[in-house]
Structure 1
């Protein structure tokens, strides 16, 4: 399954950006905060490691998505689009968390030394979520236009350049519904 997801992500982002696509706009205002939000999944994974807290938290996810829907409407962003994009963000976060938990189970010497409190992490997640919503508003024309796949590929490559492979995979998962 993971190999299939990675292959699909690689194929999706292997597009070549044309000059016309580059001139028509960018999706950086969404991809940059999406990468920040994905990076927080490391802290969430560490917070949950060894506590018995599940990675899946449907009640919390519903609260987040309800809040996203309301905030999107306030910002003039289609709430359905915002919820779809943030649902992908949540799934990407869970993908990263599962990967870290599997890694730490296999490599006990690399387990996190500190378990952050989720209350410390949530403000960062909220900040990134707000930035994603603002990015959705700023990129509406690009996301609904014919150049969106090329713009997404270009923004992905710029944003993913400095990410670790796991976060690149998370970013690919998080951006599946942008176009």
Structure 2
């Protein structure tokens, strides 16, 4: 391997490694889903392999060095964005648990419209493109619904895996989603130069792979994390 004076891969070699990692992570995200519920077999082994190809961090996420390296490889400014996208996806599990076995639908059109209208208005005040920002949040809403549908199907098929507690949507779940919305808007603003860069589509996928590793996402959540990236880059 070609390295620089510090013993790390040079810029060209690192770009090639990142591209290879992106391919590995994308294949992982689009692979068949044998285990759909969060808590099934995590995809950390595959993600670790892809990250090691990129020279990012094939460490135990339980260690300080491994967690720090996987959270923000090479100071990736997109990592706060992908961290929040992953967090929002995991909240979808609680939304599903709150709705399962009730008359509440997975798709709540009025709630979705309320979120998107709010995001559009706040985007303008923050100097963000409201069309792009709304698209990012629409992708996250669709990803969250996909997680809910998969969990519903799994709980129908495996009654013993059904949630034993029902979170309160209004008091427990939506305040978390509201906080994530605010933080994600801020992260999108702070990462705007990186999102406008030509390298964004590579960088955001590597960042998402690292976050899937740190968060120990299973295959269902990893797939939806990657599919929710399509509007993040604007360049």
* TM-score (norm: length of structure 2): 0.66
Give, in angstroms, the shift of residue 10 of structure 1.
4.0
Deviation string, structure 1 residues 93-124 (Cα, Å, up to 9, x no partner): 00100010000000011111111111120010
Higher helix share: 1
Q: Unaligned regions of 5+ residues in structure 1, if any?
A: 1-5
Instruction: Confirm or deny that 1:71 pairs with 2:125.
Output: no
Kept after mapping to 1: 8 A contact 2:116/2:138: yes
Q: How many residues align?
A: 171
Structure 2 Cα separation of the partners of residues 41 and 23 of structure 1: 30
Q: Larger relative CO (CA 8 A, sep 6+): 1 or 2?
A: 1
* TM-score (norm: length of structure 1): 0.86
Return the index of the structure with the highest Cα Rg. 2
**Pairwise mapping of residues 45-60 of structure 1 onto structure 2 (< 5 A)?**
45-60=96-111
Kept after mapping to 1: 8 A contact 2:205/2:226: no
Structure 1 Cα separation of the partners of residues 224 and 179 of structure 2: 18
Instruction: Confirm or deny that 1:153 pairs with 2:205.
Output: yes
Q: Which residue of 2 aligns with 1:28?
A: 79
Q: Unaligned regions of 5+ residues in structure 2, if any?
A: 1-25, 32-46, 57-72
Cα RMSD of the aligned pairs, angstroms, is 2.5
Give, in angstroms, the shift of residue 26 of structure 1.
2.9
